[in-house]
Each structure stands twice: as C-alpha cells, then as structure tokens.
Amino acid sequence: MKKYSLLIAVAILVVAIAVIAIVNGTAGEDFTFVGRWWSLLPPLVAIVLALITKEAYSSLFVGIFLGGFMVSGCSLLETFDTITTTGVTSAIADTSGVLFFLVILGIIVALINQSGASRAFGEWAKKHIKTKAGALFATFVLGVLIFIDDYFNCLTVGSVMSPVTDSKKISRVKLAYIIDATAAPVCMIAPVSSWAAAVSSCVESETYSGIELFVRAIPYNFYSIFTFVFIITLIILGIDYGKMSGFEIKAEKDGDLSVLTVALNDEKEEVRVKEYGPANPAKGRIYDLIIPIVLLIILSIWGLLRVGFQAIEEGSFVKAFSETDATVGLPLGGIVALIIISIYLIIRKVVSFEDAMKCVPKGFMAMVPAITILVLATALKNLTGELDAKTFVEEVMADAAGLQWALPAFVFVIACVIAFATGTSWGTFGILIPIVSAVFPESSSLFFVGISACLAGAVCGDHCSPISDTTIMSSAGAHCDHISHVETQLPYAISVAVISFISYLLAGIFDGMGVTFLSIPIGVILTIGFLFVMKKIVKTDKTMKGFKA
C-alpha cells in the first residue's frame, strides 16, 4: 500500500478539489465554507488518507493543501500563500516552545543513553521485573506518576521503560498504547498539571473558579477513569485483540518488536541499537538515570510555576498553575535541567564533554520525525480554525438543547468528533466549554457531568486521532511506526469510548432520580465485563488458528 500512497493521496486531493470547486461554483458568489460542516473536511481527508495509505506526511500535506484551497476561496495561487503564512509559518511560531522542549528532551535522553544508565536500568529490570505483566504495570505506574504534562510523560516513559518492555518481548506498539493511554488521561484528572491550567483558563463561570470546576468534574471524566480500569484489567487478564494481538504474537514468537528504523550514515539501523548507550557501559549506574529524571521533573514544575507567578504577580500555587503557559514553562525548566544534567554526568565521568556535545545533534535527529509531523498537524489545525468549525458546533448543540438528559452523551460524541478531526484536546474543550456552560444551568448536577463529558470526549478523540500531538509523541517515545500505533490502539480506545457513551446516557437518566453517581460503578463493571468476554473470544480465536490457548 505504501508504494501507491502518493498516487492515492493525489487522486483523493483532485477529487476533493473538483467537488469543492463544483459546489462553490453552483452555489453562487455568496457561498462560504466558513462555519459549516465543510470546515471539518480537510482534517477528515487527512485522517482517512493516513489510515488507508499508512503514510502520515503525504496525508497531512494533502489535508493542508485542501484546507488552504478552501480558506483562499478556491484560488489556486492564493492557496500557496495561505499554506505558507496561515499554515506552516504560523504552525512553527505556535509550536516553537514545544519544539524546543522536544529537542531538549531528545538531548537529555541521548545523554542518559550515552552514559550507559539506560542499559544499567534495563539489566536491573531484567532481574527484578520477572514477568510481562510486571513490565506493563511498571510502565503504567510510571505514566500515572508523571502527571505534570503529556509531552513530558510520553517521551520520558518511552525512553525509561523501553529496555524493560523489550526484555519481556512486548511490542513497541503495545508500549506506545500504554504511554498514550496514561499521558493525556492522567493529566486530565490531575489538578496540578498543564491540562488543568488550560481547562481553568477556558471556564467562564460566576459561581465556580476554573480549578474548582475542574476538580468537581473529575469523578465524571469517564473516558480517563475507564481507560485506567481497562489497562489494569487488560494486563491482569493478559489479553490483546485487534491488530495489537498480531504485533504481540510476532514479538513473542519471533522477537520482532517492530522498532522504528531510521537512516543514519546511509545505513539502516534499528533505533534500539543506539537507544541504550554503549554496548559495555563501564560507569553508568541506575542512579545516573533516576537523578536526571527527578531533576527534569522538579525543574519542569519550577518552570511552570515561575511562568505562572510572573503572570499573576502574587497568589497561590494553584492560581499560578491555572495561569501558566506550558509552552514557555516547560522549555524554561528543560533548558536549566539540561545544563545541570550535563554538568552532573561530566563530573561523574560517565560522559565526556566531547560526547555530551555529540548528543546535541543526536537528540535533535531523534526528534525530527515527531517535529515534522507536529508542525504539519498544527498547520492543518490552523487552517481548520480559519474555517471556523466552532460556529458549526454551536448550531448543532443548539438544535439538541431540548434533550437535557441525553446532552452529556451528545456532548461527549461531539467532543470526540472535533478532537479526532482537529487532533487537539485543548482546542476542543476551548471551543466546547463556553458552549456547554451556556447549555447547562450551573445549579444543575448535570452541569459538572456536561463539563466532564466535554473533557472526556476531547481526550478520547485526541487519543484516536493520527494527527494528535499526544499520539505523535507516544509514537516518538516508543520509537514505533506512527500509523501502526494508531491502528493498534483504535480498537481499545473505541471500546472504552462506547462504554463511556453508555455511562453518560445513564448519568443523564439517573440525574432525574438523584443517583447520578451510580453511572460510575456501572461503567467500571461494564469495562471489566467487556474484557472478560473478549478474553473468551480471543482464546477461542487463537485456538481455531492453531495458537496455544
């Protein structure tokens, strides 16, 4: 399929442009794509193409070109101006802080690997973590503990835990799923995180502060909570289904972990070969891994707080987090951490000054694929924003305002669709929270359920989307093929999404009875029960295909 990816992409682009031109021409001069369902067409085309062709770069570019064509009013010449200015140039400016932080993280990972600390940790883990379930649990717990920021979570957990999961023959796409399924969900239910700050800044309430509303919405964030239940049950039962099962069987039987390969010095080498540092580390120890990570966490929090306090001048830590800018705070903390970590490793004599300097381009090169996809995805989001999807969503929400009991479930679905199409959780709840706040009375208990449904749907759609920055970071952290990661985690994410949708329907029904909270345990039971059923189905399927049950 990859052989014909470009041909397929061009064909779909030509058809899409022809349809748009015809519609635009027959509808008259007053016709506009802005604020209508057409505004979601460019990202949807990019996503469908990515899933068909298994190739992210050309798919994103087709979506960008289509978005530029629509924004420019179907003028081919102005399309390129729009792509350059509104699209790519603005995308680089919008993500400059994130891109810098990615490079910093890449350099720190390269330094730790060069010291031999990653290999030392891998050897320790082989002795102390005995089972595949133990390795997966350790990955899950580490992901939950790093709740400050999802980017930081994805890249740190991937670099630390890949030696452990590799030693237990766990495929890299399974590692990417565990990373992705903990990163955004834990940030969305952690009051002290960059996500909590982003949500708080979107709230317009006369009764509740942003952080108070965020905290009171946590119990009804079904997708995040049920995802954790799903992962724990999945690990305990030891099952996989969908395409993930195929990757896990290959890893177990053939040792094929599906590690991403990169071109270096005109030769193809597995990233895994370079990932864990020198083959015979003489000096690197486990604490050479732990100390840099702890420093990075502490200084990242310091950076976020410093930026937050600069914004408010005085106030509490919670207020500082609610006003911080993660795109400034994380790079600030990261660059200070990089300097201190470099000095520490050089003083320890596990890395020479020359080797430390060589880690700078190594770290940058390791992040180039993620940076490229992130810039293209952000450019697509910018162009989609120019088409004003918010207006279309407001109209759809207004039409459904009469069914109060079903609105939480409806909000969840709408948020899923927007986040999936645009690849951004923050942009989704930025659009929806003001709308949801207007739809639900603040005196109603469904007000918190509705806000939670908005946040949960944003995480779910972001989790499923191939153009999501968190999904991209998870692939980068696990060093696996991006589209393979998307395809293998989709069945899992959709399973939890369906259960969450049912739970939001129940929450609306139970609200009339005054027992809204019952939707939470019922959802947990449904999640566990679903996996027990899948265990029987998968066992039967493997037995029929000749695998050992």
**In this structure, what are the phi and psi dihedrals at residue 429, rounded to the nearest 5 degrees?**
-75, -20
Q: Where are the alpha helices (DSSP H) in 168-325?
A: 172-188, 194-202, 210-217, 222-237, 243-254, 271-275, 287-312, 317-323
Q: Per the structure block, which two tokens stand in for 320?
A: 């500082």
Please give the torsion angle defined by the CA atoms of residues 116, 117, 121 and 122, in that order, rounded to the nearest 10 degrees.
Answer: -30
pLDDT at 338: 92
216 inside domain: no
Please give the torsion angle defined by the CA atoms of residues 376, 381, 382 and 385, in that order, rounded to the nearest 10 degrees.
Answer: 160
Q: Which residue has the tokens 């989609």?
A: 384
Contact 286, 120 (CB under 8 A): yes
| Same domain membership, residue 309 and residue 175 | yes
| Same domain membership, residue 170 and residue 111 | yes
163 inside domain: yes
| Same domain membership, residue 144 and residue 113 | yes
321 inside domain: yes
**In this structure, what are the phi and psi dihedrals at residue 465, rounded to the nearest 5 degrees?**
-80, 130
Amino acid letter at 241? Answer: Y
361 inside domain: yes
Contact 303, 330 (CB under 8 A): yes
| Same domain membership, residue 142 and residue 23 | no
| Same domain membership, residue 307 and residue 172 | yes
Which range marks the domain in which residue 181 is found? 96-190+263-370
Amino acid letter at 445? Answer: S
Q: Which of 506, 495, 493 is nearest to 408 (CA)?
A: 506
Give the DSSP letter of residue 309: H
149 inside domain: yes
**Boundary (domain end) residue, out of 370, 399, 434:** 370
| Same domain membership, residue 162 and residue 267 | yes
CA distance 249 to 356: 39
**Boundary (domain end) residue, out of 67, 93, 119:** 93
Residue ranges in the chain modelled with pLDDT below 50: 262-276, 279-282, 543-549
| Same domain membership, residue 9 and residue 126 | no
CA distance 97 to 150: 14
* Helix or strand holding residue 472 (H, E): helix 469-478
Amino acid letter at 482? Answer: H
| Same domain membership, residue 67 and residue 48 | yes
CA distance 507 to 519: 5
407 inside domain: no
CA distance 383 to 489: 27
Where b means 16+ CB within 10 Å and e means fewer, 347-363 reads: ebebbeeebbeebbebb
| Same domain membership, residue 151 and residue 13 | no
pLDDT at 274: 46
Contact 408, 221 (CB under 8 A): no
**Boundary (domain end) residue, out of 34, 59, 93:** 93
pLDDT at 528: 95
| Same domain membership, residue 175 and residue 299 | yes
354 inside domain: yes
Give the DSSP letter of residue 191: S
pLDDT at 32: 64
- Specify whether the backbone of 481 is left (phi greater than 0), alpha (psi in -120 to 50) or beta: beta
| Same domain membership, residue 101 and residue 84 | no
Number of domains in the chain: 2
| Same domain membership, residue 168 and residue 19 | no
288 inside domain: yes
CA distance 545 to 421: 37
pLDDT at 20: 65
3-class SS letters over 81-108: HHHHHHHHHHHHHHCHHHHHHHHHHHHH
